[in-house]
Amino acid sequence: MDIDCFFSKYGLPDTPAAGLQSHILFSKEFPRKGYRLEIKPLCLQSDIPIVHRWTTQPYTQKFWQVQCSVEELYNQYLKLLKEGMLNAFIVLLKGLYVAQVDVYPVLKDELAAHYPAQPTDFGLHLLMAPYKNIIRSYPRRLEHLSQDVLITALSFLFSSGSIQRAVAEPDCRNGTANLLAQEVGFRMIKKIQLSYKEANLYEYTKDAFLKRHPVTDAEQYP
């Protein structure tokens, strides 16, 4: 099942018709580290309160600038989902929420005005859970978890036949996010000025990603 087919077939992740709040869409094994990361749809009713807590952490406030209540964040996502502006997912480690991923079609975003965007381009936003929460619930040492999360999210996207390029636009002041993109293999295109931030624009083509991080037969949609 392509990711875009998932969008059109199941609609909002928290609707009764979807019934996919806990449905695992994709998983990726990291044998050397002894764990598997899984991706499920974000459920507005149960997951937005968790995501809201993440957005109020000091490490997110500087760059995400989310100043809203849980209800307001819920309504923002509801509107964006209904309009087809994005879809959102949760990344899990043994059932533990470790990250949220937003995926959006670039042609529906202001980013499209800053480079020759194609219908097969999708943007990616990554929000990690507070690390202290993760290590409290998962006692084993976790090295480079954010890299593994991003690789898993990209593997999920590129398992779709219709997505050929992923783009990212971290705040140019966010050294951690920029370094993460570079370490995973994104190529910087240029610096851009969006309506809400000055950002570095990165791209990662499907071919380039699969050469560096091959997707195995076991890492497809169930």
**pLDDT tens, position by position, 19-31:** 445 689 999 999 9
Structural domain boundaries enclosing 91: 3-7+21-219
| Beta strands in 8-64, from DSSP E residues, in sequence order | 26-30, 35-41
Rounded Cα distance, 64 and 125, in Å: 10
Q: 101 with 146: CB under 8 angstroms? A: no
Answer whether residue 94 is part of any domain: yes
Longest dimension (CA), the chain: 45
Answer whether residue 104 is part of any domain: yes
Burial class (CB in 10 A: 0-12, 13-18, 19+), 222: exposed
**Percent of the chain residues topping a pLDDT of 70:** 86
**pLDDT digits over 160-179, tens only?**
888 999 999 999 999 999 99
Give the count of domains, the chain. Answer: 1
Answer whether residue 12 is part of any domain: no
Answer whether residue 137 is part of any domain: yes
| CATH number, domain with residue 204 | 3.40.630.30
Q: 103 with 88: CB under 8 angstroms? A: yes
Mean pLDDT, the chain, rounded, equals 87
Answer whether residue 135 is part of any domain: yes
Rounded Cα distance, 86 and 161, in Å: 18
**pLDDT score for 29:** 94
What is this structure's pTM?
0.88
Q: Return the ∠ at Cα 84 (arms to 80 and 88), rounded to 5°.
A: 65
